[in-house]
Amino acid sequence: MPHITNDLTFQLLSALGEGVYGVDMNGNCTFINPAALAMLGYEQDAVIGKDQHILFHHHKPNGEHYPHQDCPIYRTLKTGLRHHVTETFIHKDGRLIPIRLTVTPITRHNTMEGAVVAFSDISELLEAQRAIQAERDLFAEGPVSVIIWEIKENWPIHYVSENIENLFGYSRQTMLDSRFRYTNCVHPDDLNAVAEEVEQFIAEKRHRWEQHYRIVHPNGDIRYLHDHTIAEHDDMGNIIRLHGYLIDETQQKRLEHALTEMATIDALTGLPNRRHLLIELETECARFRRMGNAISVLMLDLDHFKLINDTWGHAAGDAVLQHFAHSLKMLARKTDHIGRLGGEEFVIVLPETDEQGAITFAEKVRTTVFDSNVTFDKTMINYTVSIGVATCHDRKAENADTILQRADQALYKAKTTGRNRIVSINICDTFLEKPTL
């Protein structure tokens, strides 16, 4: 009869997370560890000495009686052969517990005395497998591409759906070739993040994982993916395959980009609108408050713009605004922020630029505009610009509102003293005027 011979063996069995119990040649339980009792819902006294088959293995999942002779434990006791099968035990409260079962014969002096049964609850594993199948069935006819990767060296692809070529631009045959590398499809800027997420996912033996990333189509197009991955585990809980359900989000991302542009970009000039510009300005002011680096703001207003609209019409006025916006884009640095506040009023934020640097840049803008013209309906239209300049000084108090207010004061001074000129205002509210050439 198999039994526990010492305290060390008892401690080892008690520490196991897997259920373990022993039976004699009649199938009666001789010992059982705490994990098995917890899974089955019994106390030890209710199990020891009892026929384990009658106690928690007496019928099949469909309700049919389970004969003793068909039970893998009794087959081991009869044949002396080890069995490793999927079975169902019955909890004390009547619910069914799907298990993975291993029955090993116990012999002494060439005589079999019983068997040891080790089992683990595979409810979560079966649920994950059902989820995998359900999602594959759900997406089989839809706009979802499916890829199954093996967790082996170089991550060979085990399966791809019929519609994979529409998304990736590669045939199923190409992607199933052992030489194909999925990582070559992932956008270089996203590859490290994707690889790190997958490594963590596998290490933590999770069931599900979601990530958004880009792939590069063979024709050079960028596609946006929503990767919803479900792990397939073996009996030990290790991930053996990844089932990826890939949704093409490219059209959605383009729509989001278009909506973002509508919310942040001025449709006529293509420049950031007032809302977006003020966000950029406040960001630069926050950096100034932290670091103390110089920052200047130019407020620009086209002179006599109403006269242009009244003389040649609003379409001509639009052409002038577009011409001016294009000139600013050509003159500005990559680090500068340009925006249209509204009407004929514009703002340029100049990071890392002191007052003298801002005046020099403003003069470049003024002379460029003065020396150019706009051709509209075979008519050449000349226009000029007035510019107010303000530079951040007080790291404690400066913000977007205060510096814009001072730039507006300087612009007002430029407009009221002749236009087509530059006026800078310093912290003491004194003005420095750049005379018209």
The full DSSP string for 230-272 is EEEE-TTS-EEEEEEEEEE-HHHHHHHHHHHHHHHB-TTT-SB
Domain count, the chain: 3
Report the alpha-carbon distance of residue 122 to residue 99 in Å, rounded. 5
How many whole angstroms separate alpha carbon 406 and alpha carbon 426?
8
| Separation of alpha carbons 47 and 43, rounded Å | 7
Q: Which residues contact 123 (CB under 8 A, 6 or more apart)?
A: 97, 98
Spatial contact of 114 and 23, defined as CB atoms under 8 Å apart: yes
Give the end of a domain, one of 121, 156, 171. 121
Catalytic option among 280, 344, 355, 398: 344
Q: Tokens in use for 226?
A: 């929503």
- CA dihedral over 352, 355, 360, 365, signed as positive or negative: positive
pLDDT tens column, 2-42? 555 556 566 666 667 789 999 999 999 999 999 999 999 99
- Residues 203, 343, single domain; the answer is no
Token pair 């999925």 is at which residue? 182
Shared-domain flag, residues 63 and 165: no
Same domain, 277 and 418: yes
pLDDT tens, residue by residue, 364-409: 999 999 999 999 988 999 999 999 999 987 777 778 899 999 999 9
Question: Is 178 part of any domain?
Answer: yes
> pLDDT-derived band of residue 139, with 50, 70 and 90 as boundaries?
low
| Residue 366 and residue 427 in one domain | yes
Residues 272 and 406 in one domain: yes
The predicted structure's pLDDT at residue 437: 44
Residue with tokens 């928690």: 56
Cβ–Cβ < 8 Å for 368, 332? no
Residues 6+ apart with CB under 8 A from 375: 381
Identify whether residues 342 and 408 lie together within a single domain.
yes
Domain boundary among 193, 219, 253: 253
Asked if 173 and 230 sit in the same domain, the reply is yes
The verdict on 285 and 345 lying in the same domain is: yes
Residues 56 and 170 in one domain: no
Domain check: are 73 and 156 in the same one?
no
Residue 344 annotated among the catalytic residues of the structure: yes
175 in a domain, yes or no? yes
Q: In this structure, is residue 2 part of a structural domain?
A: no
Q: Is the pLDDT of residue 294 over 60?
A: yes
Whether residue 428 has pLDDT greater than 50:
no
- Domain match, 218 and 273 both: no
Place of tokens 């409810």: 123
Q: Which structural domain, as residue segments, surrounds residue 204? A: 125-253
Q: Is residue 114 part of a domain?
A: yes
Domain-ending residue, one of 88, 104, 121: 121
